[in-house]
Structure 1
Amino acid sequence: MKGDYKLLTDVQLANLLDQQDKAAFEEIYRRYWAVLYGFARKMLQDNEQAKDIVQDTFTKLYIQIGVLNFQQINIAPYLYTLVRNAVITYINRNKLKINYISSFQEYVNAGEYVTDNQVLENEMQRQIDQEIASLPPKMREVFELSRKANLSRKEIAETTQLSEETVKKQIYNALKILRTRLKSYFF
Structure 2
Amino acid sequence: MSSDRLDIKTDSALLQQYKAGRDLAVLGVLYNRYMSMVYGVCLKYLKDRDESKDATMQLFEKLATSLHQHEVANFRAWVYVMAKNHCLMQLRARKGKNFEEISPLLMENDATEHPGEEPELESNLSKLEDCMGTLVAEQKQCVQLFYLEQKCYREISALTGYDDNKVKSYIQNGKRNLKICMEKNA
Query: Normalising TM by the smaller chain, what interval?
Result: 0.3 to 0.5
- Computing the radius of gyration from Cα coordinates, the structure with the larger value is 1
